[in-house]
Amino acid sequence: MWTEYYRPKRLDDLVGHDEVVKRLQGFVNEGTAPNLLLWGPKGAGKTSMVYALARELYGESYDENLMHIETSDFVEQGKKWLKENERFKFFYDEQKSGVVMFKEMIREYAALAPINARFKLLFFSNADLLPRNIQQALRRVMERSNRTCRFVFATTKPAAIIPPIRSRCLNLHFRSLDKSGVLEPLLQAIAEKEGVTITDSGLETLADYARGDAGAAITILEAAALSAPTIGKKQIEAVARNAFFQRRKAEELVDLAFAGRYRDLRARLEFLMREERISGRELLVEIHEALRKKMLRATANDDANLFARLVVYEGDADLNLCTSFNTMIHIEEMFTRMARAVALRSS
């Protein structure tokens, strides 16, 4: 896959984050690193940065000294994730809960000194999904294992990380690649290396769909390249319609709320979250984009006031999801409030 083939191997290969690279390169030169909290939008390069840092610190043995935990996998699968993962199944115990085993695994790994390095890296992607009780336990582990392990947290929602962890980390912000002005040149360079021609309209459409997410943009580009040697707006849109399933479904949900069709909305929402396994957080991101599109088309003051209220409802749901065990309750409540606000505006 192009996303892995073109993933930066060294810190200097990363584009759009010069200040972050400079800071981390200084740590590499000293042979050390602090605990890190990397935050910014999806696809900005946080995971690539962690792997590049590990290669700089450990060379070819980087994989032995880096443990990457995709937090969403643990949250969604629980004990099953521990049981089926080759690296973690040693900690599996049928008599213990998934949370207890997870804490034990982290504690044991962090305390064990590496053989060929001064310290190891323990990397949590989508760290905002970590339950608060696990975050509290991690705070104590971080204090006790500072000589043997450094913790790296990557998230799009830094506020979901408890203050004691944030205060123990160097906080590094990643800007969206489209705002840094590097996404389109990056995509153009990849297309040239692959012998593919992408038109200006195709590149503009690709950047618009990706919204700064380099991984999504490269994946769409690769898929479009299979259909034709020259890629234009039409080819990008054909691929994107299938690639952005969640985005289209979120737009449908918002349209149903505006139409007051709550029963249909609830059935569609239940299908997406329970059958398609789309998380509440993922859906909320796309719902925000769907509202943003509608807001941009609004012209009257009444419309602007309505959208302001809807964004407040969305923000309340986002906050509630940080501590919720049943995300569907809060997404449903948000849509109920939205539908009522739209109905009142129309009456």
Of the two residues 279 and 138, the one the predictor is more confident about is 138
Of the two residues 302 and 330, the one the predictor is more confident about is 330
What pLDDT, on the 0 to 100 scale, is given for residue 246? Answer: 67
CA 290 to CA 342: how far, in whole Å? 15
Task: Report, as an integer, the average pLDDT of 42-50.
Answer: 92
Cα angle 126-69-314, degrees, rounded to a multiple of 5:
15
DSSP string, 46-106: HHHHHHHHHHHHHGGGGGGSEEEEEHHHHHHHTHHHHHH-TTTGGG--TTS-HHHHHHHHH
Scan for tokens 């972050």, then name that residue: 20
What is the residue-averaged pLDDT of the chain?
85
CA 347 to CA 193: how far, in whole Å? 57
Identify the helix (H) or strand (E) that includes residue 231.
strand 230-231
At the second CATH level, the architecture of 178-243 is Orthogonal Bundle (1.10)
Q: What is the CATH number of domain 245-346?
A: 1.20.272.10
Strands (E), 94-219: 120-125, 149-155, 170-173, 197-198
Of the two residues 209 and 231, the one the predictor is more confident about is 231
Q: Look at 15-29, 104-118, 189-203, 273-287 and tell me which has the smallest mean pLDDT.
A: 273-287
The domain segmentation of the chain, as residue ranges, is 2-175, 178-243, 245-346
Under the banding of pLDDT at 50, 70 and 90, the label for residue 151 is: very high
Q: Given this structure, which CATH class describes domain 2-175?
A: alpha beta
Under the banding of pLDDT at 50, 70 and 90, the label for residue 245 is: low
Helix, strand, or coil (residue 269)? helix
